[in-house]
Homo-oligomer: A and B are copies of this chain.
């Protein structure tokens, strides 16, 4: 289809991002090599720099994509905080490459406009889930509650990805996360 044009690949930017996602999944975001991406895409070693200028800028684009995907995921679980938390953990596990880039701001340009916008959307989705929570009569403290919910979901996801959790937790992230997250809503 679009493979015999040596020049003007046509979709190189997208191709490189896909290759980057794959490579991050294999070797982690820090060990990502632009030259490896170029090889995967079948272009010269300097082609990535033309589209992204920089390794950090490429990871910025990847992180922005990730935050958008996360925002979408969280929005779908809207209204049910527990399910939103489970969805957060599930996102981290199934989209590990995205997740690992997103929370490693030293690797990208955290002040990029598109990125901050996408991150804002994800944050809003999270907060709206918490605000919708029934307070059971007690005065709501959405700020604190959303921080707590975010922290426990993020912590569990991070520990899961790091392989730091003991074996007894099992191998089903959604189930394990649900049990732990329920602890917040006792």
Q: Which residues of A contact B (CB under 8 A)?
A: 28, 30-31, 103-107, 110, 123, 143-145, 147-148, 150-159, 162-166, 168-169, 179-181, 183-184, 186
Contacts and interface: CB of A to CB of B under 8 A. Distances in A.
Nearest to A155: B155
Most chain B C-beta atoms within 10 Å of own C-beta, residue among A145, A164, A168: A164
A53 B23 CA distance: 26
B162 A156 contact: no
Contacts of A164: 103, 105
Contact of A158 (B103, B165, B180): B103
Contact of A159 (B107, B110, B151, B183): B151
Given A155-B151, A158-B155, A179 B105 contact: no
Contacts of A158: 103, 154-155, 158
